[in-house]
């Protein structure tokens, strides 16, 4: 592997274990809001429906069809609706509690912390993420990895979401980086590796989460961050 001066990381599902943190939050909400009494018998039932609903709405947000203020509540309203619960006020309570609790959860994928601590000694590290500015920065702070990154660019701030090459070019500009000396690390073959490829960056596709189909065109592929660590250290 060639030496990269700049390494750009996706955040959710890549460094920050979104699935573990989100599910922990949803389990808390199921108990604290007594959702079993609303006909949602188990936390697992809530998680299954919420994840399906949220994924569809996020695609609408990334395409610019759904504003973030609408997405935040609509995903809970639609989830409750699947269980026959008409709860506009309950959906708002869930949205507020979820956004307060979930970003504070600290779970990272295995090997992430060791990788960042090592690479930060001789690489310049950055974040490119599709998400809300205040939420993503809270995740970084509460998982105690914020100090490793120079540029943290969200789609909200860039006014462009991955895979749009504009967000990658904006991040390169902010970092003072050239594409040929930069690597993008992410879990999403469309948004992360595909978008980076279109912008001229090499890519490392993280395929550690269940159901991830490896990007055959990615420069590198890895299933655990210890593998990426070895690759970057040659």
Is 6-17+108-232's fold the same as 19-104's? Answer: no
Answer whether residue 211 shows pLDDT above 90. Answer: no
CATH T-level fold of 6-17+108-232: Rossmann fold (3.40.50)
pLDDT range class, residue 121, cuts 50, 70, 90: very high
Answer whether residue 1 shows pLDDT above 90. Answer: no
SS3 call for 12: strand
The pTM for the full model equals 0.90
Of the listed ranges 55-64, 77-86, 186-195, 219-228, the least confidently predicted one is 55-64
Residues 11 and 58: their CA atoms lie apart, in Å, by 15
Is it true that domain 19-104 has CATH number 1.10.150.240?
Answer: yes
Q: How many CA atoms lie within 13 A of 66 on its CB side?
A: 18
Question: For residue range 9-68, what is the model confidence (pLDDT) as tens digits?
Answer: 999 999 999 999 999 999 999 999 999 999 999 999 999 999 999 999 988 887 889 988
At 210 the pLDDT is: 77
Cα dihedral 222, 224, 226, 229 in deg (nearest 10) = 40
- Comparing 62 with 129, the larger pLDDT belongs to 129
Domain map of the chain by residue range?
A: 6-17+108-232, 19-104
Q: What is the DSSP letter of 40?
A: -
At 197 the pLDDT is: 98
pLDDT range class, residue 131, cuts 50, 70, 90: confident
């Amino acid at each position: 592997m060639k030496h990269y001066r700049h390494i750009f990381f996706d955040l959710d599902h890549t460094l920050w274990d979104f699935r573990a943190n989100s599910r922990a939050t949803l389990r808390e909400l199921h108990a604290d809001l007594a959702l079993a009494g609303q006909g949602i018998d188990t936390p697992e039932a809530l998680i299954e429906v919420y994840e399906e609903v949220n994924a569809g709405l996020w695609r609408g947000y990334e395409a610019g069809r759904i504003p973030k203020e609408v997405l935040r509540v609509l995903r809970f309203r639609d989830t409750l609706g699947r269980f026959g619960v008409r709860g506009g006020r309950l959906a708002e309570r869930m949205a507020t509690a979820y956004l307060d609790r979930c970003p504070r959860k600290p779970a990272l994928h295995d090997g992430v912390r060791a990788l960042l601590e090592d690479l930060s000694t001789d690489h310049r590290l950055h974040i490119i993420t599709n998400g809300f500015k205040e939420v993503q920065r809270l995740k970084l702070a509460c998982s105690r990895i914020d100090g490793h990154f120079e540029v943290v660019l969200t789609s909200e701030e860039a006014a462009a979401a991955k895979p749009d090459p504009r967000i990658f070019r904006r991040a390169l500009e902010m970092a003072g980086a050239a594409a040929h000396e930069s690597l993008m690390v992410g879990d999403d073959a469309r948004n992360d590796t595909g978008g980076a490829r279109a912008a001229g960056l090499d890519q490392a596709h993280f395929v550690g989460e269940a159901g991830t189909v490896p990007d055959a065109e990615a420069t590198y592929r890895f299933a655990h961050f210890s593998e990426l660590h070895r690759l970057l250290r040659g």
